[in-house]
Amino acid sequence: MGHLLTSQSLQGRADRRPGLQLFALVLSLAASTGHSNAVAGEPPSPASGQEESAASPSGPCSETPAVEYPAEQLTRNQLKLLPAASEGPVPDVIGLMIPGRLYRESVQPYPGANAPAGPLDSLGFWILFVGDHGTQGGIVQAEWSLCSGKQTLETRQLGPESLKAREHPLIAEQNPELWSASHHLLLPGDLQADGVVYKVRWGGQEPASLTFHLPVERYEQKTALRLPLDEPARVEAGHLAVEHHRGEGSQWFALDLAGVDATTLAAVRTSDGLDNENFHGWGRNVVAPGSGTVVAARDGVPDNPRAGKGLDPKEHPELDDPVAGVAGNHVVIDHGNDEFSFLGHLQQGSIAVAVGDSVTQGQLVGLLGNSGNSSGPHLHYHLMACGQPFRCNGLPVRFEGVEIPYEGTFESYAPVRGTVLVPR
C-alpha cells in the first residue's frame, strides 16, 4: 500500500553511482514462480536458456569454499560480495547483494485446516554488479546452487533471456554500468538448505567468471511481539516474494497494515472516497509490539490529505532531514538482542513517546496516519537489526496471539498479504 524506500538505502556507493540511488527508489520486479522437487521458483525454460540439475554430493557446493564475512557487514542492509573463486580476466566490478543477509522466512498462509500440506519457506535476494563491464551485454550467464553443507541440492543456470526478465528495467535503461537480477525461491520448510553458491559469467573473447558462497540462515526471533494495532487489520503487503518493499534491505520483511471494519472484518474504507477520513484505520491506536526503549521518534511530517501520491522529500526542503521524512512520522523501539521495531507513516502530531522513553508492550506510541511516502492511511512495520532506518538488515517477524477469522487463534504467526488479523 505504501512505499518506504530511500536513496540512502545504498549508502557508501550511492554518491558515486547514480544507479544505486535510482535502485533504492524504485519497486522490485515480480519474479515468476514454478515447481521442482526441491525448489519452486525460476522454473526451467528452454526458451530462456535455463537449465536445471538435481541433487548431487559433488558440484558447486562442494567445490566452492565458504567465505567468512565480517560480522559488522552482515548487519547492513546490503552486502559487498567477497568472491570465493574467479576465472579469467574479471572486469573491474563491485558485487552487491540485497538484503545483507539471507534468511529463510516462513510463508505458510495460516496454520489452519486449509493450509497447504507441509511448511513452506521463501528465500529471496537481489544480485547487483557495478562497473564498466557490469552491463547485460557483459554478463551472459548466471548460475545459483542451493546447498546443504557440501551437498548440492539443486543448480539452475540462467541464460541471457532469463536474466533479462529478472533485471530492473529502469536500471537497465538509465544505468548501463549497473547490472541487476532478482531471485525468489520457495522451499519445503524441512529442506536442510544452508547456503547458496552464485556464479556469473562474462562473455567476449576471454570469458571470465566470479563465484560467491552465501550462507542461508533461519532466523530465531528473540523478542515476543504482538500486533502493533489495537483493532483488526488486513496485511496489504508482506512476506511474499514480489513485495514493493524489497528494493531496500531493512524493509525486506516489512508489512503494510490497513485497518478494516471491526464488524465485517473486510472493508478498508467507509465509503468510496479517498480522503483519510474515509479509511477505517485512520487515527486508530498504534501500540508498542514489545517492551523496550525508544531510540527514534519523528513528528512534524505532514499527512497526505488523501490516498494517492505520497510525499516527495524534494517538495519539502523545509523538513529536517527530508530523506528520513520519506518514512513519515515514525517511532523506533530497541527491544534488546539487536532487534528494533520500526513503525512508520504515523499521524502528524500523534507521537506519544520521546527518545529515551521506556515503553511496555501494548503502550500507545502514536496514531495510524498517512505521512511520508505513503499511498494511503496504513501502518508500515518492520523488524530490523539496528536502530537507524535504511541502514541495516531487516529481520523475519512473527506476532503472538493473533486471531485469523474462520481459522482460529494462533500462538505465533508470520503475516502474509491478504490476511486479516485480529489482536488478542
The domains found in the chain, sorted by start residue, are: 31-218 (no CATH), 233-423 (2.70.70.10)
Distance CA 127, CA 31 (A): 14
CA 103 from centroid of its chain's CA atoms: 10
**Which regions in the chain score pLDDT beneath 70?**
1-55, 108-118, 133-137, 169-174, 176, 239-242, 309-320, 322-324
CB atoms within 10 A of CB 373: 24
Q: What is the spatial distance between Cα 223 and Cα 333, in angstroms, rounded to a whole number?
A: 12
| pLDDT on residue 315 | 63
pLDDT score, position 317: 63
C-alpha cell, 149: 553443507
pLDDT of residue 138: 82
Give the Cα separation of 69 and 75 in Å (integer): 11
As a whole number of angstroms, the distance between CA 52 and CA 43 comes to 8
For residues 351 and 333, what is the distance between their CA atoms, to the nearest angstrom?
Answer: 13
Name residue 357's amino acid. D
Give yes or no for a contact between 359 and 294, defined as CB atoms under 8 angstroms apart: yes
pLDDT tens track for 229-273? 999 999 998 866 667 787 788 899 999 999 999 888 888 988 888
